[in-house]
Amino acid sequence: MNDLNIKIAWSVFFALTLGFFLRFTHIEGLQNLLIPILEILGQVFILFLKMIMIPLIFFSLTSSISSLQENKQSSFLWKGTLIYYFSTMVVAVLLTMLVMNIFQPGIHSDIQNMTNPLMTEFNQQPNLFMDGIKSIIKNPFEALASGNIMAIVVFSILFGLALRSDRASIKKVKNWFDGMFDITMIIVNKLMALAPIGIFALLSLLIIQQDLTVFLSLAYFILLVLGVIFFHGVVFLPLILKTFTQIGILNFFSKSKTILITAFATSSSAATLPISISNLENNFKVDQNVSRFVLPLGATVNMDGTALYEAAVALFVANIIGINLGLSDQIFLVFLAMAASIGAPAIPSAGMVTLALVLGALNLPVEYIALFIPIDRLIDTFRTTVNVEGDLVGALVMNKYFNA
Ligand code: ASP
């Protein structure tokens, strides 16, 4: 174990100890003193990750795409990555729909009568198609300034492709972009030093502040969702990894645990990206052309955990209000859940927002989203961990065949 991993293991241990101690002893004075300090430490860590994530996505994608020449190798990387992302997401959604159809959470329940003042806020039907297009084709300077990751990815791909030209003037710009990426990674590696403190603060707060009473009314649904997320993360993705790369499952989890713990603590695939790129290159010796391309793209579009959650909520809401979604609606739901997860920015609770698209498109009452707000912080931690794990497995699979 390297030094940082040891520090992070200790920070998890201390967070669990402090979190459960404060939770069960209810010493108010100590809580009032520690919570604001933990909040500052956790926020500063997230702010640093967010600070670097936009330059990182922009420079890593442009630099990697401009380095991929038009040959068999790079067309394999493009196609292989997209096929992997698409197929693992389909499996995640189909598995969830199977489980939800068998166990039927929400049916004959009285959840429908639960009132929530927030419900009226969500009573608007978004425009799925046009809103989506408008948010991804944007002035790149506006997208960079506002942190619109999807629009940045679209522009970076176009820009990276244009940088492949042989013209001398363009070659200079390409070198400049490669240099900018290297500088960004130097900053990322320095920021890693903050990870143990940030993770300690965020995990402690998660344990201290989570209100478990709200879980009871939705317990059955939550257990089913977490069951599918666990299956996907602990069985399906590791099996893909083992089959395609021969990397042992324990070896994978042991070397990637810093990344997965960061995803769990921050609930943001994008904020975890700096740590994913740095760790994958250092611990698994992944080719930079692969990691710089597959990981930023994955952080933006590949969200197995989010996709499966969107499908689960739609089927749950349909059950609560007594609507039986037929086969064609359920097939539509597979694509909707995937589109909504691809469109969700890689930040905390983004999946909650795009849920409105899914429910609206199926004519289900959008205001039911309010029911899921109190449980979202916790479920998001698990969704994000599996989202990031999917990106890591994708990068390792692509790496195996990229130079073969
Ligand atoms: N927080 C998730 C992520 O960053 C997105 C979501 O809300 O599902 O991957």
Read off the pLDDT of residues 327-370 as tens digits, 9 standing for 90 and up.
999 999 999 999 989 888 888 888 888 888 899 889 998 888 88
Q: Mean pLDDT throughout 315-330?
A: 91
Per the structure, the count of domains in the chain is 1
Band of the pLDDT at 123, cuts 50, 70, 90? Answer: low
CA nearest neighbour of 5 among 283, 361, 375, 291? 283
pLDDT band of 21, cuts 50, 70, 90: very high
User: 397, 234 in Cβ contact below 8 A?
Assistant: no
Rounded to the nearest integer, the mean pLDDT of the chain is: 89
Band (pLDDT 50/70/90 cuts) for residue 382 is very high
The conformation of residue 268, written as its DSSP 8-state character, comes to: -
pLDDT at site 120: 54
Q: Tell me the pLDDT band of 89, cut-offs 50, 70 and 90.
A: very high
pLDDT score recorded for residue 33: 92
Instruction: Give the position, in ligand 1's atom list, of the atom nearest the Cα of 344.
Output: 5
Please give the number of the atom of ligand 1 that sits closest to the Cα of 388.
Answer: 9
Instruction: Give 68's pLDDT tier (boundaries 50, 70, 90).
Output: confident
How many other C-beta atoms lie within 10 A of the C-beta of residue 1? Answer: 12
What pLDDT, on a 0 to 100 scale, did the predictor assign at position 108?
A: 73
Residue % of the chain over a pLDDT of 90: 63
- Residue to probe by mutation, ligand 1, list 89, 387, 389, 392, most atoms within 8 Å of CB: 387
Is the sign of the CA dihedral 173, 281, 247, 95 positive or negative?
A: negative
Among the residues of 26-71, which ranges form H helices? 28-67
Between CA 74 and CA 84, with CA 80 as vertex, the angle to 5 degrees is 150
Tell me the one-letter amino acid at 182.
Answer: D
* C-alpha to C-alpha distance for 58 and 56, rounded to whole angstroms: 5
At residue 71, the pLDDT reads 72
> Is-contact 277 188, C-beta < 8 A?
yes
Query: Are 324 and 339 a contacting pair, CB within 8 Å?
Result: no
Distance 299 CA to ligand 1 centre (A): 9
Q: What range defines the domain where residue 67 resides?
A: 2-402
- Residue 297 belongs to a domain with what CATH number? 1.10.3860.10
The reported pLDDT for the residue numbered 121 is 55
The H-or-E segment that residue 336 falls in is helix 327-343
Work out which ligand 1 atom sits closest to the CA atom of 299: 9
Position 357 scores a pLDDT of 84
Is the Cα dihedral 277, 281, 153, 61 positive or negative?
positive
Which ligand 1 atom is at minimum distance from the Cα of 305?
A: 8
Per-residue pLDDT of 170-180, as tens digits, reads: 999 999 999 99
The type of residue at 126 is: P
Longest dimension (CA), the chain: 69
Q: Which residues line ligand 1 (CB under 6 A)?
A: 267-269, 303, 306, 344, 346-351, 380, 383-384, 387
pLDDT given for residue 118 in this prediction? 54
- Closest residue (by CA) to atom 2 of ligand 1? 384
* pLDDT at residue 237 tops 70: yes
Pocket test for ligand 1, best of 266, 268, 392 (most atoms within 8 A of CB): 268
Q: Count other C-beta atoms under 10 Å from residue 126's C-beta.
A: 15
Cα of 275 from ligand 1 centre, angstroms: 16
Q: Which atom of ligand 1 is nearest to the CA of 387?
A: 9
The predicted model gives 227-251 an average pLDDT of 96
Please give the distance, rounded to the nearest whole angstrom, from the Cα atom of residue 350 to the centre of ligand 1: 5
Q: What pLDDT was estimated at residue 15?
A: 94
Taking 70 as the threshold, does the pLDDT of residue 111 lie above it?
no
Residue 93: the pLDDT is 97
**Cβ contacts of 322 within 8 Å, gap of 6 or more:** 107
Q: Quick one: average pLDDT of 170-197?
A: 92
Q: Name the one residue in this structure whose structure tokens are 């190798």.
A: 73
Q: What is the per-residue pLDDT for 147?
A: 86
pLDDT level of residue 114 (50, 70, 90 thresholds):
low
Residue with tokens 């490669």: 178
Which one is predicted more confidently, 38 or 29? 38
From CA 120, how far away is CA 117, in angstroms rounded?
7
| Long-range pairs, 163-170, Cβ under 8 A, ≥24 | 163/62, 163/65, 163/66, 164/65, 164/66, 164/68, 164/69, 164/70
DSSP element (H, E) containing 276:
helix 269-283
Q: What is the pLDDT of residue 350?
A: 87
Q: Which one has a higher pLDDT value, 173 or 71?
A: 173
d(CA 220, CA 97): 15
Residue pLDDT, tens place only, 265-290: 999 999 999 999 999 999 999 998 89
* Residue 352 buriedness (CB in 10 A; 0-12 / 13-18 / 19+): buried
DSSP assignment, residue 71? S
Which percentage of the chain shows pLDDT scores above 70? 94
pLDDT reading at 217 higher than 80: no
Distance 352 CA to ligand 1 centre (A): 9
The answer on pLDDT for 241 being more than 70 is yes
Residue 119 confidence (pLDDT): 57
**Residue 128 confidence (pLDDT) above 80:** no
CA distance 292 to 311: 30
> What pLDDT, on the 0 to 100 scale, is given for residue 62?
93
Average pLDDT over residues 192-198: 92
Distance CA 284, CA 358 (A): 37
The answer to whether residue 245 scores a pLDDT higher than 90 is yes
- Distances in whole angstroms, Cα of residue 333 to Cα of each of 120, 163, 259: 24, 38, 31
Mean pLDDT value across residues 312-317: 95
Please give the Cα distance from 261 to 401 (Å, whole number). Answer: 28
